[in-house]
Homo-oligomer: A and B are copies of this chain.
Amino acid sequence: MSTADLGFARVDLDREHRQGLPEVVYGPGKQPGQIVAIVRTLLAHNTGPVLVTRVERETASAVLAAVPGGGYAPGARLLVWRPAETTDFAVAVAAAGTSDGPVAEEAAEVAAAIGLGVRTVTDVGVAGLHRLLAETERLREADAVIVVAGMEGALASAVGGLVACPVIAVPTSTGYGAGLEGVTALLAMHASCAAGITVVNIDSGFGAAMAAFRLAHVLRRPR
């Protein structure tokens, strides 16, 4: 049977088989006890890494006390049990500014936990292009670049023009006023003049890492 019905949740036990990774738990709105039950179910019926995203520190402590063996990354607000071994698929996480840090950290921590090699490049916003240009070679070595940028999100276009590999843009809600809580960056990244950029939801470092995992998954296929 492919689901476990916990009453308040229906855990998708088949996902690891279907997509190469157990279901990832979205933390907000769940009681610590609910998270504990889901995590235990996932650990028991899967073999891969188990993650819970967007968990505040207090909840994390309660859950870890009940389900030992996990780790908590406070900047990324991420709980991880059984992290995967690192593969040779290399992801570069490029963040435009210091305030994009938490989202970049979520992308990096999730990516690492699911087995991707991660390199982070911070504070390379386009207002000082030489900072970005100095990192171009490092970005080009990656198999995918996750670009994390708020405000006007211009970094995605600039990176998109510099590298040949997939670019996954994450708009962030940093900034104020006309940034419209990340909506401006999201729209701008879609309207980008650089061809072939793709975009995930606002502040979704998690989504970007999962998109990169899909790439890595295909790369591992026998040909």
Contact = CB atoms under 8 A, between A and B. Distances in A.
B152 A193 contact: yes
Interface in A65-101: 88, 96-99, 101
Interface in A196-216: 196-204, 206-207, 209-215
B191 A30 contact: no
Question: Which secondary structure dominates where chain A touches chain B?
Answer: mixed
A49 interface: no
A20 B196 CA distance: 13
A10 B96 CA distance: 10
A197 B191 contact: no
Nearest to A194: B127
A34 B125 CA distance: 18
A101 to B, nearest CB: 7
A57 interface: no
A43 interface: no
Interface size class of A (residues with CB under 8 A): 35 or more
Given A188-B184, A191-B175, A196-B214, A29 B124 contact: no
Given A30-B99, A128-B161, A192 B9 contact: no
A128 to B, nearest CB: 4
A47 interface: no
Choose among A126, A130, A171 the residue with the greatest number of B CB atoms under 10 Å from its CB.
Answer: A126
Nearest to A13: B128
A22 to B, nearest CB: 11
A52 to B, nearest CB: 12
B191 A184 contact: yes
Contacts of A187: 152, 178-180, 184, 187-188
A172 to B, nearest CB: 9
B166 A211 contact: yes
5 closest residue pairs by CB, A with B: A177-B202, A196-B210, A154-B154, A198-B198, A178-B190
16 contacts: A10-B123, A12-B128, A88-B223, A125-B157, A127-B192, A129-B161, A143-B218, A152-B152, A177-B182, A184-B191, A187-B187, A190-B201, A195-B206, A196-B212, A196-B214, A198-B211
